[in-house]
Amino acid sequence: MTRFRFAPIPAALPATVPFTGPETLERRRGAPFLARLGANENGFGPSPRAVAAMARAAAEVWKYADPDSHDLRHALAAHHGVGPQNIMIGEGIDGLLGLLVRLMVAPGETVVSSDGAYPTFHYHVAGFGGRLVKVPYREDAEDPEALIAAARQTGPRLVYLANPDNPMGSWHLGARIEAMLDDLPQGSLLVLDEAYAEFAPAGAMPRIDPEDARVIRFRTFSKAYAMAGARVGYAIGPAELLAGFDRIRNHFGINRIAQIGALAALEDRDWLAHLLAETGAARARLAAIAGENGLTALPSATNFVAIDCGRDGAFAGALLEGLAQHGIFVRMPGVAPLDRCIRVSCGPGAELDAFAQALPRVLKALA
């Protein structure tokens, strides 16, 4: 029996987190990983200009950060061709998703998502007492039509869709997402998680007016800009909706060094192009490694590759564990039939070499 009385919603929840970090796994195994390929981090590293800017900013870390993130917000507005009132900065997409659920979903209200989609969003819905209605993936992708059908049946406050998708790396054309808006029930808000937008092929991003009251979009510096540890994300959406975040957000949540680093990274277009090229080459390498071992790499518009192991979740889980014993950190989807795959992040050549060496050994041991 606990000595503390939690509030009703958290008291009813399991003591869990959406992801177990690689550092925790390293402590459990008593050794560091040779290849850190499980968290969709960008191992090719951030812009040197961003690193230099953050190093200079460290001497002034005694100052609180600008609570309005003015410089970064205005730079992002110019970058996207929207007004600064259409940008909200937050502690990564994860933090912003939590704020959105808190702002929009009362206990017992419905949220529609996909079974197997990004767990942190579902974590926030449960944490604020929302009721999740989930639809299955179709052909290894989130199903816009099924999401809309569920929304029309349940009248949800939020409908979540990631494009490109995590954990499968699949994507939809922007026109298909634009069509979703025409069928969205009145009073529902489409939540577009575009964490991997910079990796997406031409035509994948929808053309949506930032003042369209039916949608809010989320972007991040964690993936393409290789700044996952800085925790900087942002929302693009209607000014009235984003102003609501000011009622509940942590106004000093984005640290000063991260703001300055993100601004420098945004301005370094050459380095972004370099990172995208490195990621494309790594995707091709991962596909080749999978093929050499009789496995199938699914098409990806992200900085990871879902590799179909051709069996079931139990086999993929055993493969995951075997790779970990060889010092390779990867992850896998948590819901069938997606869990027949392992998900491997793009990374530097040496880490992919280690994966390439370990994979056939583990497959042989499991045969």
Q: If the chain, 367 residues long, is cut into consecutive pieces of 10 residues, what is the mean pLDDT of each piece?
A: 85 86 93 96 98 97 96 98 98 98 98 97 96 98 98 98 98 96 96 98 96 98 98 98 97 95 98 98 98 98 98 97 97 97 98 98 96
pLDDT of residue 60: 96
| Global model pTM greater than 0.75 | yes
Structural tokens at position 85: 């009132």
Q: 193-223 burial string, b = 16+ CB within 10 Å, else e?
A: bbbbbbbbeeebbbebebeeebbbbbbbbbb
Residues 6+ apart with CB under 8 A from 67: 251, 252
**Look-up: residue for tokens 């990274």?**
265
pLDDT of residue 18: 83
Q: 107-134 burial string, b = 16+ CB within 10 Å, else e?
A: eebbbbbbbbbbbbbbbbbbebbbbebb
What separation, in Å, do the N-terminal and C-terminal C-alpha atoms of the chain show? 46
pLDDT of residue 1: 57
pLDDT of residue 203: 94
For residue 243, the one-letter residue type is A
For 16-45+270-366, CATH number out of 3.40.50.300, 3.20.20.210, 3.40.718.10, 3.90.1150.10 equals 3.90.1150.10
Which parts of 26-181 are beta strand (E)? 35-36, 87-90, 110-114, 131-135, 158-162
pLDDT of residue 2: 67
Distance of CA 323 to the CA centre of its chain: 23
CATH class of 48-267: alpha beta
Report residue 212: phi and psi, to 5°: -65, 115
Report residue 219: phi and psi, to 5°: -130, 170
Give the torsion sign (CA, 313, 297, 352, 364): positive
Distance CA 326, CA 243 (A): 49
Distance CA 95, CA 221 (A): 13
- Beta strand 87-90 pairing with 110-114: unpaired
Give bridge partners of residue 89 from the DSSP assignment.
Answer: 234
Instruction: For the chain, give every domain's residue range.
Output: 16-45+270-366, 48-267
pLDDT of residue 119: 95
